[in-house]
Homo-oligomer: A and B are copies of this chain.
């Protein structure tokens, strides 16, 4: 069976979606398995794990930790019967902060001392935005969401420091308040926007040249709205240059068995 239609992808169960990725499907995960939470990955050797967890605790808005797999573990409650080494569409392997490979399977890069952090992703609240009549321009335009390094610094932790990374969605001016209201109910997956409007105030020189993902066209009357992004720990890895780390490829997330509504308050 071939899946080409976005609506078909939206109906996959998380288990089915992970199976497709395991078999080689390569595409961003926005819109896949509607209603289920998605997660960023950051995988580091045990001796760096406390720094990563502390970095996440100190920068909870961009780095809300949804789950942690113990050293060497490759499956867990968020991906039942899954395998963290194969079940994402694409990964990035870092050595000393440099991107040395972008495989679709990290089995050959795996080590028994690796600790996996699953970090909340704004794709999780996109379904709630859609249900409130707010369209996702990146999906309508068939591209990955645009992500940017900002001029805001995260609070460092141990050996890790880096900039806040944000994702951007253009929203019609009349729906900005709704977008804030809806997403503020999901504090565990970045919550309310960190910035509404002028990209330059975040140090973004050209909104058409994102640091990760793809550019997205901003229609007249739409305002760029910026949410904290779970690529932030990855940017810290690139800047802080630990010996070894693995992440997801931006926009190519783990689709978890948790429901969006599990992270909704109140």
Contacts and interface: CB of A to CB of B under 8 A. Distances in A.
Interface of A: 49-50, 53-54, 57-58, 65, 68, 70, 158, 181, 184-185, 187, 192, 265-266
Nearest to A183: B266
Contact of A54 (B58, B68, B266): B68
Given A53-B57, A54-B68, A184-B266, 16 more contacts: A49-B50, A50-B50, A50-B53, A53-B53, A53-B54, A57-B68, A58-B68, A181-B266, A184-B265, A185-B266, A187-B187, A187-B266, A192-B266, A265-B265, A265-B266, A266-B266
23 contacts: A49-B50, A50-B50, A50-B53, A53-B53, A53-B54, A53-B57, A54-B68, A57-B57, A57-B65, A57-B68, A58-B68, A70-B158, A181-B266, A184-B265, A184-B266, A185-B266, A187-B187, A187-B265, A187-B266, A192-B266, A265-B265, A265-B266, A266-B266
Nearest to A53: B53
Q: Count copies of this chain in the complex.
A: 2
A103 to B, nearest CB: 27
A228 to B, nearest CB: 15
Nearest to A266: B184
Contacts of A158: 70
Contacts of A65: 57
Enumerate the 3 nearest inter-chain pairs by beta-carbon distance, A residue then B residue, closest first.
A50-B50, A184-B266, A53-B53
A70 B51 CA distance: 10
Nearest to A50: B50
A170 to B, nearest CB: 23
A181 B265 CA distance: 11
Nearest to A70: B158
Nearest to A158: B70
Nearest to A57: B65
A48 to B, nearest CB: 10
A114 to B, nearest CB: 14
Contacts of A57: 53, 57, 65, 68
A158 to B, nearest CB: 7
Central interface residue in A50, A54, A70, A158, by most chain B CB within 10 Å:
A50
A258 to B, nearest CB: 14
